[in-house]
Structure formats: C-alpha cells, structure tokens
Amino acid sequence: MFTKTLTAVAILGLTAPAFAQDNPMVGGAEMMADMSIAQNASNAPNLTTLVAAVQQAGLVDTLAGDGPYTVFAPTNDAFGMITDEALNALMMDENRDQLAQILTCHVVAAEAFSTDIMGMIADDGGMHPVPTVGGCTLTAYEQNGMIMLRDENGREATVTTADVDQSNGVVHVIDRVMLPAGQAG
C-alpha cells in the first residue's frame, strides 16, 4: 500500500494541499470538512447504495482512516445503471472480494481537487491516467468544462459534484460506476 501511495502521489503530481472554501452539498445533505469520507457519505441520501456496498465490502474503516484519498463516488442512480440481478449478486458474501475491487477502483491514494485534476489533464495533453487503489487505471479528461472519467472498459462518468472536502481527502460525485477491465455491468 505504501508503494501504491507513493506511486499515486508521483503520478498525480500533487504538492501542497488544496482546500475548498465552501463545501458543496451532496444529495441535499451538508458535507462537513472535519468529518471523514465514510461519515459524510453516510449522511448523503443519494449515496446510500455506495454506503451499503462499502459496508458489505468491509471498507468502512479504510474510508474512515487517515488517507488522504480521492474518492469518485457513484450515486444511487449510477448504481441503478447496473442490473438488479448483477448488483444483488455483487452484494452477496461470496462476492465480497469482487465488490471490494470495484469500489477501490473509485479510490486514489492521494488528495486531488478539481483544479489539480484539470491541471494534470492539461499537462498531459488532454488525457491523464489515474491509477486507483483497486489496480484500475481511469483516464481523466475534460469535456465542456466538466471532468470526465473513462474506465478500462470504455465506460464514461461525469463528475457532477466536485471538491467535497473531507478530513481524510476529497470526494467527487460521479454519475456512473467504474469497473475493472473485463467486467461488464
């Protein structure tokens, strides 16, 4: 994990921390910069599926830990794009490892606010590789002023709410679940 953290920090090119002045609301709920990612997510009504999945995968302590992390948090509607059958199967105990891998493909072991991400996209000529804790590499790019992500399967997500400051990192809410290479959903 330490090596992955150093690699992520080196690849993301992060230096000084950035701080949001006004923390955006998520799903109509206030997000508190002095609370952890896990605590804030549990207060957002549009992230209940994500919270349930994090609990099922045994990742609550990780997302309540020191970090820093950048989490691309899929909404309930994003999870709704996955068939009920597939989502129910992922939430079964015997599929906990697969669920954990999917969820950690939304986590970067460094803190990156939108200005940082847009800078990296610009520095890399329009496409920036984002290695995740789950071993996936997302591609960040800009489209119509919005940060977009593409997973290894070509699935695209838009950052719909950026820069939700947390005590252990930052959350960017996205409108699609990102999947590891070769997984359909």
Helical axes 96-104 vs 48-57, angle rounded to 10°: 120
pLDDT digits (tens, 9 = 90+) for 107-123: 999 999 999 999 999 99
Residue percentage of the chain with pLDDT more than 90: 79
Residue percentage of the chain with pLDDT more than 70: 88
DSSP E strands, 64-106: 69-74
pLDDT digits (tens, 9 = 90+) for 89-111: 999 999 999 999 999 999 999 99
Cα gap 154→132, rounded to integer Å: 16
φ and ψ at residue 162, rounded to 5 degrees: -105, 160
**What pLDDT is stored for residue 107 in this prediction?**
96
Mean pLDDT of 85-89: 93
pTM for the predicted model, two decimal places: 0.86
The superfamily in CATH containing domain 2-12+23-112+159-174 is: FAS1 domain (2.30.180.10)
At residue 163, does pLDDT exceed 50? yes
How crowded is residue 89: how many other Cβ atoms within 10 Å of its Cβ?
A: 14
pLDDT digits (tens, 9 = 90+) for 19-54: 435 889 898 889 999 999 999 999 999 999 999 999
Mean pLDDT of 151-176: 96
Residues β-bridged to residue 53: none
Plot region of 135 (φ>0 → left; ψ -120 to 50 → alpha; else → beta): left
At residue 71, does pLDDT exceed 70? yes
Q: Per 3-state DSSP, what percentage of the chain is helix, strand, and coil (rounded to 5)?
A: 40, 25, 40
Lookup result for tokens 């820093």: 68
Q: How would residue 185 be classed by pLDDT, with cut points 50, 70 and 90?
A: low
Q: How would residue 182 be classed by pLDDT, with cut points 50, 70 and 90?
A: confident
Question: Six-digit token pair at 153?
Answer: 């399967």
Q: How would residue 56 be classed by pLDDT, with cut points 50, 70 and 90?
A: very high
